Amino acid sequence: MIKKWALRAIIAYVLFGVFMYAYLYFLADSSIPDALKGTSADPTTFLDAKEIMLSEEYSKFRNLLFFLATPYEWLFYYLILIFGISAKFEDWAKKTTKISIVTTAIYLFWLSLASFLVMFPLSYLSFMMSKSYNISTQTFSLWMKDKLIDFWIEFAISFIVITVLYALIRKFKKRWWLGAWILSVPFSIFMMFIQPVLIDPLYNEFTPLQDKQLEAKILEFADKANIPADHVYEVDMSSKTNSMNAYVTGVGSNSRIVLWDTTLERLSDDEILFIMAHEMAHYVEKHIYIGIAGYLLLTLIGLYITAKIMERWITRRGQTWKVEKMTNISSLPVFLLITSILLFSVSPLTNWVSRYQEVRADTYAIEMTQNKDAGVQTFQSLTKAGLSQINPPYLVKIFRYGHPTMLERIKLIEEYELKQEDNGE
């Protein structure tokens, strides 16, 4: 019976992969509407034929990898449950020590290591493709260093969360999900507070922006936006990527304005100011806090649904999986499987909200800079640097894109200009 269900799961995954390959490579349409051909949103006006070909190839590969990776993770969790591997990890941990918190740490290490090794081929494939398309500039050793930092940071955070979670499950068997949600509120805010000053520096070197004239212009924008920042930081990303980015991160006194060095090297001051105005809009319009509120609401609903499904699954399948009850740490893959499925299912909604906020931020940048040409040039440059599709397929957009497509962003700038002219502004 176990082999039968394992085979069914593998076949389902393969069929899904075949469907997504057919959709992305043969069925989906990513062409530019006739009405926009020859405009600034048409890639033929700012990319050469080779760049257009490369952007299509690279985007299709990345999109396929995205749709393969998530259900691949589900398959991993499912198989280690039905083959009793999760239960074996718990047995190993209990044989090592009788101290509950140490047992949790040992179990979590084995599960994390297994997950890391199983997911590694996809991660490595993504890295090699990024190298071959000249997006990534990292050496393998530096890439592995980041992967290992990821592993230990995720392990440390997971250990804290899982230890508290299972303590709640043992104490409040019917209402543990509510306690977990209540504790997630301060924890989420705390993580956002320490991210810029403790976690981000583990990956990159942050230094004050060397171009003081540009810094003065950015801080002038920040002052208008009431952002509590005295410095602008630049981060060394050219050793890792040819892509460009900038962001405002953190909350309260830990807010930081950050520019990638690749952005500084490739964009003009006007284009950088447009990007910074966009990023500052998220702070001005409280998108960070709206995001926290939305996240907490979805977390409450998600934990409730997870609790109900988890209890039902373990009651029905626990004996087969050798997971005696929910309080066993070996039930963790059940929790992770359910939450991962729920997160993927709700991603079209969260991405839609994010895209709406990004449109608001783009509009704010247009109004603040009054430089629409800089906006168009910025999005064209970002497209070229990242080999992005101008008009990605529909499924890619709703499941992957937290930003509007480049076609939509450039079109917004043009339409906004026309509206101003029509209103006599």
3-state per-residue secondary structure call for the chain: CHHHHHHHHHHHHHHHHHHHHHHHHHHCCCCCCHHHCCCCCCHHHCCCHHHHHHHHHHHHHHHHHHHHHHHHHHHHHHHHHHCCHHHHHHHHHHHHCCCHHHHHHHHHHHHHHHHHHHHHHHHHHHHHHHHHCCCECCCHHHHHHHHHHHHHHHHHHHHHHHHHHHHHHHHCCCCHHHHHHHHHHHHHHHHHHHHHHHHHHHCCCEEECCCHHHHHHHHHHHHHCCCCCCCEEEECCCCCECCCCEEEECCHHHCEEEEEHHHHHHCCHHHHHHHHHHHHHHHHCCHHHHHHHHHHHHHHHHHHHHHHHHHHHHHHHHHHHCCCCCCCHHHHHHHHHHHHHHHHHHHHHHHHHHHHHHHHHHHHHHHHHCCHHHHHHHHHHHHHHHCCCCCCCHHHHHHHCCCCCHHHHHHHHHHHHHHHHHCCC
Position 35, amino acid: A
Q: Phi and psi at residue 379, in whole multiples of 5°?
A: -70, -35
Residue 421: per-residue pLDDT: 44
Low-confidence ranges of the chain (pLDDT < 50): 418-425
Domain ranges of the chain: 2-203+286-422
Residue 416: per-residue pLDDT: 85
Active-site residue set: 279
The candidate with the shortest Cα–Cα distance to 247, out of 268, 224, 278, is 278
User: Contact 222/246 with Cβ under 8 angstroms?
Assistant: no
- Burial string for 340-355 (b: 16+ CB within 10 Å, else e) reads ebbeeeebeeebeebb
Residues contacting 258, CB < 8 A, separation 6+: 196, 206, 232, 233, 234, 235, 246, 247, 248, 249
- Burial string for 132-149 (b: 16+ CB within 10 Å, else e) reads ebebbbbeeeebeeeeee
Question: What CA–CA distance (Å, rounded) separates 171 from 379?
Answer: 52
Specify the pTM. 0.90
